[in-house]
Structure 1
């Protein structure tokens, strides 16, 4: 049963990002097709098969080009700030954004490496990610070299706890951030390959 469950969960985790991506593309396609197909056919005088698909691809690429330049980034940040100030809408938007960020492992770029720490109490070990050295004042006040650690939660690693811990109490792991995130998301089901732990 454990093997069957592991295979099922692995398949589910593999399918989720694919299904979500395809569903979003189909939704955009249907919306674009319903808005632009009829007016365009009237203008050109004949029907073009796949016009909705072509327009969807153009819109996605156009948005990508716009979002990668300075003006586009500023515009998107403005929209995000506006949405984050609207009650209910901000909760929905942030939840969707966190889900997408998690699925595409965007957070891995913010973490330096994977570690093991005793948290929340002695004898209990948990996966964490080093984000930076702790602020100088913290190290001076404690008299110890400290590190800032992000402790992710299961199944949504974008939420979690921020802790500062003594450098000597941190156990470094030879597990990539992406692999560790998959381990957290799956609740320990998706184990790292042995070659990654050497």
Structure 2
């Protein structure tokens, strides 16, 4: 009986979590419908709510924004908007930091999250998976040896973690992709992958 129960859990737990995550994403994106006038919303002309329409609207808005931002007029409007936000003290700090991170992650420029490393953490006898990110130039003069900046994500939520500066000589570069490393972290090492944790020939 215990074996059957565990087998059932192995079927329904991943499915349930997947459905919960999708419902959370769709429900969040459906909030974009609130931007429409009341008479334009599906409830007004269909009489009931249709889950997922907000996803279509969100994707359309994102795509349209990208199209507008690629022409001269759109670039000027974007520059004006960013200049306006830069004049607001608290908003300036938040917006500039978030924009710098998003530009690095989504544009494919820079070296952030391009390498997967192993570093000694949380104590000298342990190893943790880390992602190499950008080291601020202002700090180089304060470091006697060559260092690298790393982000050590937590398990099972890789969006949280720790930002450290470690000696490059004390890191091990791995021949695996960022996606594979994230799979290890999110699954707490349970998920199997075709790529192995093989150190590269150089550190």
Q: How high is the TM-score relative to the length of structure 2?
A: 0.57
Match of 1:22 among 19, 26, 37: 26
Residue pair 1:147, 1:166 contacting (<8 A) in 2 also? yes
SS at match of 1:156: coil
> Are residues 1:194 and 2:198 paired?
no
Match of 1:194, SS? coil
Give the aligned length.
171
Shift of the 150–5 alpha-carbon distance from structure 1 to 2, 3 Å rule, reads farther
Q: Secondary structure at the match of 2:134?
A: strand
- Aligned partners of 2:188, 2:47: CA distance in 1, in Å? 46
Give the conservation status (yes or no) of the 8 Å contact 1:112–1:131: yes
Question: Which structure is higher in RCO with an 8 Å CA cutoff and minimum separation 6?
Answer: 1
The answer to which structure has the higher helix fraction is 1
* Corresponding residue number in structure 2 for 1:185: 186
8 Å Cα contact 2:149-2:165 kept in structure 1: yes
How far apart in 2 are the matches of 1:156 and 1:21? 16
SS at match of 2:61: helix
Q: CA deviation at 1:56?
A: 5.0
Number of the residue aligned with 1:147: 148
Aligned CA-pair RMSD: 4.8
Which of the residues 52, 61, 64 maps onto 2:62?
Answer: 64
CA distance in 2, matches of 1:8, 1:78: 50
Residue in 2 aligned with 1:132? Answer: 134
The Cα shift of 1:156 comes to 2.5
Inter-CA distance 108–15: structure 2 relative to 1 (3 Å threshold) = farther
1:64-102 deviations in Å (ceiling 9; x for gaps): 1453224358758978x98x76xxxx9xxxxxx9xxx9x
Q: Does structure 2 retain, via aligned residues, the 8 Å contact 1:67–1:76? A: no
C-alpha distance 131-179 of structure 1, shift in aligned 2 (>3 A): same
Deviates more, 1:57-66 or 1:172-181: 57-66
Shift >4 Å, 4+ stretches: 1-17, 25-34, 55-58, 72-79, 106-109
Question: TM-score by structure 1 length?
Answer: 0.58
Shift of 1:143: 3.3
> What is the alpha-carbon distance in structure 1 between the residues aligned to residue 136 and residue 34 of structure 2?
49
Partner deviation per Cα, 1:22-64 (whole Å, 9 max, x = no partner): 33355555885954259x86xxxxxx899x89x8577435421
- What CA distance in whole angstroms lies between the structure 2 residues aligned with 1:162 and 1:118? 13
Which whole-Å CA distance do the structure 1 matches of 2:82 and 2:27 have between them? Answer: 23
